[in-house]
Amino acid sequence: MSFIVAANWKLNKGPKEAESFFQEFLSGNEALRSEFETLFFVPAVDLVTANAFLEDTPVGWGPQNIYFEDQGAFTGENSPAVMKDIGATHALVGHSERRHIFKEADGDTFLKMKAAIRNDLIPVLCVGETIEERKVGHTFDVLKRQLSGALKEDVTTSLFHVAYEPVWAIGTGEVASPGQVAEAHDFIYSWMAEHCPQAKGSKILYGGSVKPDNAGELSAVDHVGGFLVGGASLKVESFIDILKACR
Ligand code: PGA
């Protein structure tokens, strides 16, 4: 299976900007694009546009967050069933901004993983430690807590991916070193081998200030099966340059 390069647009771009991005993205570099599995996690308002451009392509797409119920009195939430209905293929779960700004707990990430799988969406679970947690040597404890909180019961036998995103490297320009990435990915890989041995095909993505100039080196680290890219995914050129660097 090919290396995944996933874009996380966060709260950026409306439908018009999404449209021009996808037009430009799909208009060239076909051979390069076909070597990778590319995904786009777009704001809710761009989901219909994403489907219009991507539905007949191998490019996957989905929301940055889903609710764990399919419908009902949940004002302001995104239904995973509706996401599936409009063509989404994937869903991001437990991004650090959801955990830290919106106070999502490990229990929420488990329910969201289940909701994604129930609706035939492939979830990408984000995990990662804060700088304070790293400084006191708690990185692996945090990863273990976040993994065991979300990956249990029938989730462990389904297809999902995990994105290791150290909170201190997200949007800061401070990228984790290849050694730090190797250590964390190795830990996640071993944890998954022990607790989710039936989850074949799952990849471990790295996220946190991935740019064209560090992507090549990081993509070569053991157990790095893809990237989750924020800032550098907002321009077609830098997103394409990341693919080129990973070749
Ligand atoms: P960044 O964001 O690439 O801008 O650091 C990554 C993410 O939050 O997924």
pLDDT digits (tens, 9 = 90+) for 101-146: 999 999 999 999 999 999 999 999 999 999 999 999 999 999 999 9
How many angstroms is it from 8 CA to the middle of ligand 1?
7
244 pLDDT more than 70: yes
Mean pLDDT of the chain: 96
What pLDDT does residue 171 have? Answer: 87
Where helices occur in 56-209 by DSSP H, the ranges are 80-85, 96-100, 106-118, 131-135, 139-150, 178-195
Predicted pLDDT at 202: 95
Q: Which residues are catalytic?
A: 95, 165
- Rounded CA separation 182/222 (Å): 6
pLDDT band at 1 (very low <50, low <70, confident <90, very high): low
**Cα separation of the two ends of the chain:** 14
pLDDT tens digits, 180-215: 999 999 999 999 999 999 887 899 999 999 999 999
Ligand 1 pocket check for 165: Cβ under 6 Å? yes
Please name each of the domains of the chain with its CATH number. Answer: 3-245 (3.20.20.70)
The answer to whether the beta carbons of residues 61 and 90 sit under 8 Å apart is yes
pLDDT digit string (tens) for 67-85?
A: 999 999 999 999 999 999 9
Cβ–ligand 1 distance for 207 under 6 Å, the answer yes
Beta partners for 126?
163
Is-contact 2 30, C-beta < 8 A? no
pLDDT at position 174, please?
Answer: 86
The CA 27 to ligand 1 mean position distance, Å, reads 25
pLDDT, average across residues 16-31? 96
